[in-house]
Amino acid sequence: MAWRAVILWLLTVASAAADIPRRASVSSVCTCSFPTLINEQLGYAYDAANHLLYRTNNALVQTFAVDALNQLSNVSRAGTFTITGALPAPASSVTVNGANAQTNADFTFASGGNVLTNSNLKGSSPEF
């Protein structure tokens, strides 16, 4: 089944990229994929208690862990980030960090392959 392939892919990518142990307790997976839109390659994996274990967006894999009290204890990420946005009107081209972005008929754009850097400021957004 396709959902089993997604689970295996999530576990393989997350384990290899983030160097985390594989979790055999994945109970459900939700995917949303529009093949031509790089900003809509989404995946989610949950454990039996409905905790979010993994979230993917294109090449970015985010991993979440909970402790014995069911509290979020760790979040990690691996891969590159897809920057997306909306345009007020049609555009012939959009550039993000010096590279051409994909423009879509619904006036949105997306640029994959962007590297996130860590910030030392608490409460701040990631830097690009």
- pLDDT tens for 18-42 read 433 344 456 566 666 556 677 677 8
User: Is residue 99 predicted with pLDDT exceeding 50?
Assistant: yes
How big is the chain by its Cα radius of gyration, in Å? 16
Phi, psi for residue 22 in degrees, rounded to 5: -70, 145
Q: What is the pTM of this model?
A: 0.60
Which residue type, as a one-letter code, is found at position 63?
Answer: T
- pLDDT tens for 56-83 read 888 889 999 998 888 889 999 999 988 8
Q: Cα–Cα distances in Å, from 124 out to 36, 60, 117?
A: 32, 19, 12
User: Is residue 16 predicted with pLDDT exceeding 90?
Assistant: no
